[in-house]
Amino acid sequence: MTDDLEWEPVRALARRIRSGESLTLTDEVKALLIRTAPEVGISAADATQALGSRASAEALLLECARRIKEGSDRIVDALYRAKRYRQAGDYDNARQEMRDVLAVEVVPLYREIAEGQLEDLADAP
């Protein structure tokens, strides 16, 4: 899944929108948003509907970028804390870090990472 993700164009476009540019709904931008939406936990139907106007497409773009950024921050922070817990022999709290991510995370990639960490910790004391 990771090899297929194209999130840098989403981030770059979101930065331009935040700096005051208007979104031009080209076929390329529409395709990018339709492709990115399910990668960040937004249904294809909701994404398609959002492409009905420039304002709703901008909102979709900014929401995709927000989910990418916040989810990335969340999983990186949790992985760091879980590693510290594992190094201290505290496997229960290491597992809890991943459960906490799974309780709120909607981006499938970040959920897969947390689930994989939980699987790796399954045999730990």
pLDDT digits (tens, 9 = 90+) for 41-68: 999 999 999 999 999 999 999 999 999 9
Is 0.75 surpassed by the pTM of this model?
Answer: yes
DSSP single-letter state for residue 23: P
Report yes or no: 24 and 1 within 8 Å, Cβ to Cβ: no
d(CA 49, CA 72): 26
Measured in whole angstroms, how far is the alpha carbon of residue 71 from the centre of its chain? Answer: 5
Whether residue 1 is predicted with pLDDT greater than 70 in this model: the reply is no
Token pair of 88, please? 């201290």
- Exposed / middle / buried, residue 108 (Cβ in 10 Å: 0-12, 13-18, 19+): middle
Cβ atoms of residues 54 and 22 within 8 Å: yes
Give the span between the Cα atoms of 109 and 49, in whole angstroms: 24
